[in-house]
Structure formats: structure tokens, C-alpha cells
Structure 1
Amino acid sequence: MIRSVVIVGGGTAGWMTASYLKAAFGSRIDVTVVESAQVSRIGVGEATFSTIRHFFDYLGLDEADWLPKCAGGYKLGIRFQNWRRPDEHFYHPFERLRMVDGFSLAEWWLALGDRSVPFDRACFITSALCEAKRAPRMLDGSLFVAGLDGPLGRSTLAEQRAQFPYAYHFDADEVARYLTAHATRLGVRHVVDSVEHVALDERGWIEHVVTAGHGPIAGDLFVDCTGFRGLLINQALGTPFESFLDVLPNNRAVALRVPREDAVEMSPYTTATAMNAGWMWTIPLFRRNGNGYVYSDQFIDPEEAERELRAAVAPGRDDLPANHIRMRIGRNRDSWVNNCVAIGLSSAFVEPLESTGIFFIQHGIEQLVRHFPDQRWDPATIAAYNERIARAVDGVKEFLVLHYRVARRDDTPYWKEAKNRPAPDGLDERLALAGSRLLDEETIYPSYHGFESYSWNAMNLGLGHVPAEPPAALHHLDPARARAEFDRLRAEAREMVAALPSCYEYLAKLNA
């Protein structure tokens, strides 16, 4: 039996893993986290998927408790700014498209021909809530969508049936600290020390890690949460890393923590703003914004990227320290090798354009529990784990490349080149299909990667990749029910905007 798990590296990945394994297996598994006090963390403010609620509910943690302690805010979607033309934006929300007579509202939007209201504003309630900066909960704590609230218990990503309407923004360092306290209360051993050597046995498996102050620490299963270093999976075991820079060339970022001058003006969405050589994130936390510029150093150097970022979000605030990050874009050929599993940045990373970092961690942890080994170390189980991780990462890669190939920006060398980058196998065929009809679950990337067909259509339509004609069947259907549904959606949006508190108002009450 596998009795002991040693997690090397703390941060969000390490403590999410430790907390989850303890919640899943209790005292039947000993969990140790070896965390260096000298290693700086990457976290500069995180945005998440709506599926993250499965993680916190699995641990039995209450949003009203952990969110205020982590400078948290709400995320109803992503606002894409300037990706088509300057001063234009659209939303990619957490909201499935409504159906009328077997066709989505997006298809009816094409058929009815009224383009005076943009697609996202016409087809989603969430866009109106984002524009009005509304919280997703009433002041009494009730959710604005009926029937979706309540604890999920020990459920997983695979059990997401309905689309939950929001995700979170939070300070990743504070989440790591919160989970450190939670996990150690559950019995996780916390060793603050530096790993100086990784000892392998005659098979090439990890036998123990040697720390500076605590000597050797042995285990059955080792989890590598050492970030881009890949101390165990890459450095000790020599696992090849497969770069995605051929299709996703952004390889650097610079980040700032910016206090908000007007604290009460708080957006319930992540903003991704197209810049000269990449894009800028804005992640609103309770009393500050996390801002960062993701770019390719083929088109701009770090100093100029920092100047461009400061001019956009913090003019005159040269006192704010900048965090420059070299990003390793791609994934390991295998995330599980011998008795070592890599989770988080040591496993895979793509640029944070769709907030997939925490999702990759959660998915990796859940699949580890599902494929947990015994003393046989079944090769088929390990291969199944690696296949699922690789497919999820590759699906996200393809979805992100879509953003650049479809974007209308062409005013700088960076954006001109974006149109001519290589595409992953299958993407060009999907984009050609999307030029004549909307995509569905049968025509998007076929393996699980966290994004449903409405996300693919929201990006294609928002970026201007619009089918030339609606489905021919709609010319033979009475549009009355569709028009009524559009009217109903607009009425519901007005009611929700009037009834819901602002994002800041609700979070101030929660923090109080």
C-alpha cells in the first residue's frame, strides 16, 4: 500500500494538493510538504474557473470564511478589451446559451439580423451584470440564479452538470497561507527547508529528498510542486518538456500590485486588454488590482514592457515594485514518471489568458486521486493519468491559439504576425467550420479541457469570426418564440441589475 506522500514545494499547487489528499484519504495517508523559505512565489493575483467551487466544497470550506481572508472578489467572466478595434470590448461569461426550438440564442441572433446589440449583450444576462459591476449574490447571500446554490459536498469537475455563474479572484499567496493552516490542522506535516539533493534508487525512482536542515525525507509517492524549475520531474528524472512557443509565443510577463484609488469601484470580471506586443490582465481584488503584461520578448524587451504597463495602470507610481516573470510555456511529455507526479507549473503552463492555472492544478489533483497507485504501480493507470492531463492541456492550447488567429488587431508587428502563426492540428478545420456554422460539443476539441462549446462560440463571435449565414432551418421556423426569449432575457437582466448590490458593496459586507 502507498502510505506516505511527500510534496516538494508549497505555494498554491502544493497546499491545494496537500489539503485535497488529506480531505480524500484522511489518516490513511501521511502527507508531508517540504517548502523552502527562500523560493519566491509566482502568485500576483489569480483568476479562476467557476469549477473551483468543487475544490473548496470538497474540503468543506465556506466561501464566507475563506474569501475575505484571501482578498477575494468575484469573477462573472472575462472582458476582452481592444481585441477587435480600439475602445471595443465583449464578454466571455460563465453562462450557457439558452435554447429555443432546438437552436441556441446565438443562432437566432444570426437569423434575426439585428446587429445593433452585440452578440454577448443580446444573448447573455451576465454581460449586463458585468457592465453594471454587480455582485452575483443579494445582500442576504442568495444567488441571483435560482436552484444552483448550496454545498456540493465531495464532488469533482466531472460532476459539473449546470453552469455555475461565477468564479473567484483572489491573492494566490493568501490562499496558500490559508490552506497551509487548514492542511496542518488536518495533520499534514510542514517542513520548511531547502531540498539539496534528490536521491534515486537503482531503478531510477525517487527514494528520498535530502534537505539542508532535516536531512533525508523519504516517501512512497512524490509530488513535484516546485514550479517552473521542475526539480523532481525534470531535473532529477530528466522528463522531456514539450514547448508550445511555436504556437503560443508569449514567454514573459511583468506584474504590478496596484492599490485602487476608488476602492468602491470594483469590477466582477477579469479584463484582458490587447497591448502592442501581447495583452494585459486586470484582476480586481478587494482593495487593489493585480495587473500584468503578458508578452513575447521577440517583439518587446522587459524594460519597455514595464514602461507600457506602468503607463496603462499606474502612471506616476514608480514606487510600486514590478515582478518580472519568465514563463515556461508547454507541458511535460508525461506528468507522472515512476513514483513522481508533477502538479501545477512543474507539470504544464500556458499563458493565463483564460485563467487556466488553478484549473490545471485542480484537474491534476482530482485525477491523481482517481488514479491513485498501490504497490503494483500499474503502468496502465499511470498512462491513463498522463493521457488525461496531456489532453486537457492540449485542448486549452488550441482554444488559446484561436484567440490570436481570430483577433482583428493588425496594427503592430506582433498582431500582424499573430495571424500567421502555426495552428495545432485540427484548429484550422474548426475555424473554417465556424465560418459557416456555430460550433457544438461534437465539433470543438474532443477531449475534456474545461471549455464548453458556448465558450468557443463566445470567442469566435466576440472577435468577429461570424458565420456568413444562420442555419437554413431558421428561415422555415416561426421566430416569435425566439423574439420572446430575447425580450425575456433583457427584462431579467434589467431586474437583476436593479436588485443586486454592487460587487464592492457585497464584498464589503462579507469582509465586515
Structure 2
Amino acid sequence: MVRSVVIVGGGTAGWMTASYLKRAFADRLDVTLVESAQVSRIGVGEATFSTVRHFFDYLGLDERDWLPKCAGGYKLGIRFENWNKPGEHFYHPFERLRVVDGFSLADWWLLHGDRSQPFDRSCFITSALCEAKRAPRMMDGSLFATELDDDLGRSTLDEQRAQFPYAYHFDADKVAAYLAEYGVKRGIRHVVDNVEHVGQDQRGWISHVTTAEHGQIKGDLFIDCTGFRGMLINQTLGAAFESFEDVLPNNRAVALRVPRENSTDMAPYTTATAMTAGWMWTIPLFRRNGNGYVYSDRFISPEEAERELRQAVAPGRDDLEANHIRMRIGRNRESWVKNCVAIGLSSAFVEPLESTGIFFVQHAVEQLVKHFPDERFDSAQTDAYNKRIAHAIDGVKEFLVLHYKSARREDSPYWKEAKLRAMPDGLAERLALAESRLLCDETIYPKYHGFESYSWNAMNLGLGRVPREPQPALKLMDPTAALAEFARIEAEGKALVDALPSCYEYLAGIND
């Protein structure tokens, strides 16, 4: 049996992996995590999917305990600003579309919707909560969507049935530190040291890593969490890396940590604001914002990008340190090679848009548990794992390319070029179909990738890719129930805005 796992690299990926494996296998598996005190962390993974709650519930962690320790906040969705033209915005929420008489409310909106307001305000409750900056919980801690299960226990992404209404923002370094404390208490061996050599046996499999002060550390299975370097998977084992830069435009980012002038003015959403050569994220933490500019260095220099970012979010604050990041966009052809599994940035990265970094880590470690090897390292298990990981990453790639292809903005060389870029196989057909009808579960990317059809439609409609005509069948159907549902969404939104505390007010209560 495989009895020992050595994880090289810490950060969010390393400690999420270590803590999850320890929770899954307890003392039946020895887990060692080796990380260097000298390696700086990227720190861009501060926004998440709503499915991340499966991870924390699996570990038995209550958000009222860990969230305040990680400067955490709530994320009800993503607000897209200026992707069509300056001054316009829409929301991509964590909320499925309601169905009336067999058709989604978005279908009904195309024929009977109130066009004086955007699609997302008519079809989602979440948009009203975002506009009013409301928390998703009452002051007593109860969830506003009382019909949803608030305790998942030891469940995984495969068991996601309902759409949970929120995700988290958090300080990634503090989450890593919190999970390190959690893991060490449960028996994870934590080695703070520099890896100077990666040893291999006669087959080319990894046999050990040699550290500066702790010597050789042996293991049966090695997990590469060394970030874009890919120390084990790429540098040692030579895994092939497939770039996505032919279809995704951005390859760099610059980030700032910006104190909020009014700390109580806290939004429960990530903001993605279109810029001249990319887009800017705004991630509200409890007492500060995380801001970053994701861009292509073919259209703007790092110095110019930093100046544009500072001017947008922190004018006059030259004291704030900027973190420049060169991103490796793409994935390894195989994330599991021999006895080494790459998780996190060493496996793949598509860019921060839609906050998929933490999701990729969670999905990878869940799949590793489901495909965990014995001493034979059965190639069927390895192949099945690699296919699952590749499908999820490739699906996200398609979904992100949709953002750039469907956006109506064309006011700079960057945005003009984004329209001319190649597309992944299958996406052109999907976008052509979206010109005539909304997408469904049968017509979006077919493999699991974390996004449902409502997300594809929310983005297309928000970005202006609207079907030419509504479904013909609806013209022959009675719209009474659909109109009542539009009215119900508006009424429910107003009632919740009145009843729920502000995002800051609720979080201040659990931070006391």
C-alpha cells in the first residue's frame, strides 16, 4: 500500500491538499509537507466558488471560526463592470434560473421581460442583494435561503445538488496558515526547509527529496505544489505543458493590497472591471480590498499596468507595495506522472477571471482521494484521474474565452485583438447556437468543469450575446405564471434587502 505522501510546496494548494488527505485517511497515511521559508506566495487566490464549502465542511470547520481568522468576506457572485461600455455592469450570481412551464425564466425574459432593467435584475434575487451589499445570513446566523442544507458533512463536489448562494473572499496566506495549524495538530509533519535535489530511482520515479537541513525525505507518492515552477512534475519528470495563450489573452498580473477608506462599505461580490489591456479584480476582505490588474504584456508594460492600477484604486498611495506576477497559462498534458501528482499552479492555471484557482485545487485533491493508488500504481487509475482533471480545466478555458468573445467592448487594440483570437474546439459552435437560442445542459461544454448552463447564459446575456428571437413555443403559451415569477423575484429581493444585515454588519458580529 501507499503509506506515505510527501507534498513539496505550501501555500493554499499545499495545505488544502495536506489537510484534506489527513482528514480522509487519518493515521493510515503519513503526510509530510515541505516548504521553503524563502519562497514568496502568489496570493491571488482570494476568491472562490460556492462549492468550496464542501471542502471546509469535509474538514469539519465552521465558517464562524475560520472566516474571521482569515480576514474573510462573502461572495454572492461577480460584478462585471465596463465589459460592454463604460458605466454598465451586470452580475454573474450563484443562483440557478427558475423554470416556468418547462422553460427557464431567461427564455421568458426574452419575450416578456422588462427591458427597462438588465436581464440579471429581472431573473435573479442575488442581484438585488449585491446592489444593496447585503450579507447572505441573518444576524442570528441563519441562511436567507432556508430550504438549503447548511451542513454538508463529509461530502464532495460530486454530491453537489442544490446551488449554494455564496462563496468566500479570504486572505490566501491566512487560510494556508490556518490549515497548517489544523493539519499539524492532526499529525501532518511540517518541514520548513529548501529542497536542493529531487532523487529518482532506476525507473525514473521520485524516490526522495533532499533538503538543506533535514536531509533526505522519502515517500511513496509525491505531490507537487511548487507553483508555476513545477519543480517535480516539469523540471524533474519533464511533463509536457500545453499553453493556452493562443486562446486566452492575458499572461501577467500586478496586485495591490488596499486599505478601504470606509471599512464598513463592504461589497459581497468580486468585481471584474474591464481595463484598456485586460481587467481589474476587486476582492473585498474584512478590512481591506485586494486589487489586481490582469493583462497582456503585448499591449501594456508592467510599469504602465501598475500605474493604471494605482490610479484606479489607490491614487497617491505610492507606499503600497505592488506584487508583479508572470502567469503560466495552460495545463500539463498530464497532471499525474509516475508517482507524482501536480496540484495547484504546478498543474494548471487559466487566469483569475471567475476565481477558478481554489476550485482546481479542491477538485484535484478530491479526485486524488477517489483515485488513490496502491503499490501497483495502476495506470487505469492514473489515466482516469488525468482525464477528469483535463476535462475540468479545458471546460473552464472554454467558459473564459466566451467572456472575451461575447464582450461588446472594442475600444482598444487589446479588445479588438481578443475578438480575433482562435477559439477552443467546440466553442465556436456553442456561440453560434447562442445567437439563436439559450444554451442548456446538453449544449454547454459537456464534461464537469464547475459551471452550469445558467452561468453560460448569464454571461452571454450580460455581455450582450442575446438570441435573435425568443423560443417560438412561448408565443403560443400563456405568460401569466412567468410574469408572476418575475414579480415574485422582485418582491422577494426587496423583502430580503429589508431583512438582511449589511455584509460588513454581519461579519463584524462574528469578528468580535
Report the AA paired with residue 46 of structure 2. Answer: E
Distance 2:340 2:60 in 1: 28
- Cα distance, 1:347 vs. partner? 0.2
Letter in 1 for 2:36: S
Matched with 1:427 is: 427
Q: Specify the alignment match of 2:232 in structure 1.
A: 232
Whether the 8 Å CA contact 2:22–2:183 is kept in 1: the answer is: yes
Q: What per-residue deviation string (whole Å, max 9, x for no partner) do you get for residues 38-82 of structure 1?
A: 000001461000000000000000000000000000000000000
Question: Are 2:6 and 1:6 equivalent residues in the alignment?
Answer: yes
- Aligned match of 2:438: 438
- Distance (whole Å) between structure 1 residues aligned to residue 295 and residue 494 of structure 2: 38
SS in 2 for 1:138: coil
Quote the Cα distance in structure 1 between the aligned partners of 2:96 and 2:54: 19
Q: What's 1:33 paired with?
A: 33
State the match for 1:281 in structure 2.
Answer: 281
* Residue in structure 1 matched with residue 94 of structure 2 by the alignment: 94
Partner of 2:209: 209
Q: What SS does the aligned partner of 1:33 have?
A: strand
Residue aligned with 1:162, SS: coil
Contact 1:109 1:119 in 2 (8 A): yes
The CA deviation string for residues 207-227 of structure 1, in whole angstroms up to 9 with x for no partner, is 000000000000000000000
- RMSD across aligned positions (CA): 0.6
1:156-183 alpha-carbon deviations (Å, 9 max, x no partner): 0010000000000000000000000000
Equivalence for 2:160: 160
Structure 1 residue aligned with 2:337: 337
1:354 alignment partner, SS class? coil
Alpha carbons 2:36, 2:194 under 8 Å: kept: yes
Aligned residues, how many?
512
Q: Distance in 2 between matches of 1:240 and 1:380?
A: 20
- Deviation string for 1:407-429 (max 9, x for gaps)? 01100000011110000001010
Question: Does the alignment pair 1:270 with 2:270?
Answer: yes
Q: Secondary structure, in 3 states, of the residue corresponding to 1:47? A: coil
Moved more, 329-338 or 38-47: 38-47
The two structures have a TM-score, normalised by structure 1, of 1.00
- State the Cα distance separating 1:113 from its structure 2 match: 4.8
Offset at residue 265 of structure 1 (A): 0.2
| Aligned counterparts of 1:274 and 1:322: Cα–Cα separation in 2 | 20
Residues in 2 aligned to 1:101 and 1:201: alpha-carbon distance in whole angstroms: 63
SS in 2 for 1:367: helix
Query: How does 1:17-32 map onto structure 2 within 5 Å?
Result: 17-32=17-32
Whether the aligned pair in 2 keeps the contact of 1:45 and 1:290 (CA below 8 Å) is: no
Separation (CA, whole Å) in 2 of partners of 1:333 and 1:44: 24
What is the one-letter code of the residue matched to 2:304? E
Partner of 1:74: 74
User: Counterpart in 1 of 2:131?
Assistant: 131
Q: How does 1:500-511 map to 2 (within 5 A)?
A: 500-511=500-511
Q: Is 1:197 matched up with 2:197?
A: yes
Match of 2:153, SS state, is coil
- Report the Cα distance in structure 2 between the residues aligned to 1:171 and 1:85, rounded to whole angstroms: 31
CA distance in 2, matches of 1:61, 1:480: 45
Q: Distance in 2 between matches of 1:132 and 1:308?
A: 28
Deviation at 1:147? 1.9
SS of the residue 1:498 aligns to:
helix
Q: Deviations over 1:281-318 (max 9, x none)?
A: 00000000000000000000000000000000000000
1:79-137 superposed Cα distances (whole Å, 9 cap, x missing partner): 00000110000000000000100001100000115311210000000000000000000
1:315 corresponds in structure 2 to 315
Q: 1:314-343: CA deviations, max 9, x gaps?
A: 000000000000000000010000000000
Q: Hey, which bits of structure 1, 4+ residues long, moved more than 3 A?
A: none
Q: What is the distance in 2 between the residues matched to 1:249 and 1:459?
A: 18
Q: Tell me, yes or no, if the aligned pair for 1:438 and 1:467 is still in contact at 8 Å.
A: yes
- Give distance in 2, aligned partners of 1:108 and 1:375: 56
Do 2:113 and 2:122's aligned partners in 1 also have CA atoms closer than 8 Å? no
State how far apart, in whole Å, the 2-side matches of 1:112 and 1:14 are.
Answer: 50
Structure 1 residue 174 corresponds to structure 2 residue 153: no
Q: Which residue of 2 aligns with 1:187?
A: 187
Please name the residue that 2:396 is paired with. 396
Counterpart of 1:5 in 2: which secondary structure? strand
Task: Indicate yes or no: 2:250 matched with 1:250.
Answer: yes
Runs (5+) with no aligned partner, structure 1:
none
Do the aligned partners of residues 503 and 9 (structure 1) sit closer, same or farther apart at CA in structure 2, a change above 3 Å counting?
A: same
Look up the SS of the partner of 2:23 in the other structure: helix
AA partner of residue 164 (structure 2): F
Does structure 2 retain, via aligned residues, the 8 Å contact 1:45–1:283?
A: no
Are the aligned partners of 1:44 and 1:257 in contact in 2 as well (CA < 8 Å)?
no
Map 1:54-73 onto structure 2 (within 5 A).
54-73=54-73
- Which amino acid letter does the alignment assign opposite residue 227 of structure 2? G
Distance in 1 separating the partners of 2:217 and 2:113: 66
Matches within 5 A, 1:351-430: 351-430=351-430
- The aligned residue for residue 498 of structure 1 is 498
The percentage of counterpart residues that share the same residue type is 79
Q: In 1, distance between residues paired with 2:220 and 2:416?
A: 51
Q: Deviations over 1:369-416 (max 9, x none)?
A: 000000111001100000000010000000000000110110000001
2 CA distance for matches of 1:123 and 1:382? Answer: 42
Q: Aligned partners of 1:225 and 1:347: how far apart in 2?
A: 8
Shift of 1:146: 1.3
